[in-house]
């Protein structure tokens, strides 16, 4: 398992097994995967100066150079779900 210099800030790795799901008919072994706490991982990521210029905090509508332009969906920040979540106003008083 790969590690990072301040890897302890991310918490421990946990092994999970999905018993009732298989890769496909030719690969019947249960699916296994490793994970860490997503909140700790995001805190670590947000504090890394090396990644600062690559992080995106707002949704974007991206288009190609065709005439007329066509909308591009390439990353989570270009999808409608993020856009709708971030621009939604809470109307509760």
Q: For residue range 19-47, what is the model confidence (pLDDT) as tens digits?
A: 777 667 777 778 888 998 888 888 888 88
Q: For residue range 55-93, what is the model confidence (pLDDT) as tens digits?
A: 888 888 899 999 999 999 988 888 888 878 776 666 554
What is the model's pLDDT at position 93? Answer: 46
Cα separation, 66 vs 68, in Å, equals: 5
Cβ neighbors of 77 (< 8 A, separation 6 or more) are 56, 58, 59, 60
What global pTM score does this model have? 0.48
């Amino acid at each position: 398992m790969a590690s990072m210099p301040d890897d302890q800030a991310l918490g421990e790795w946990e092994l999970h097994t999905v018993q009732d799901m298989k890769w496909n008919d030719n690969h019947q072994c249960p699916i296994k995967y490793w994970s860490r706490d997503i909140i700790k991982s995001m805190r670590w990521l947000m504090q890394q100066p090396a990644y600062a210029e690559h992080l995106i905090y707002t949704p974007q509508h991206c288009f190609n150079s065709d005439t007329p332009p066509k909308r591009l969906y390439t990353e989570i920040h270009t999808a409608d779900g993020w856009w709708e979540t971030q621009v939604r106003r809470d109307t509760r008083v």
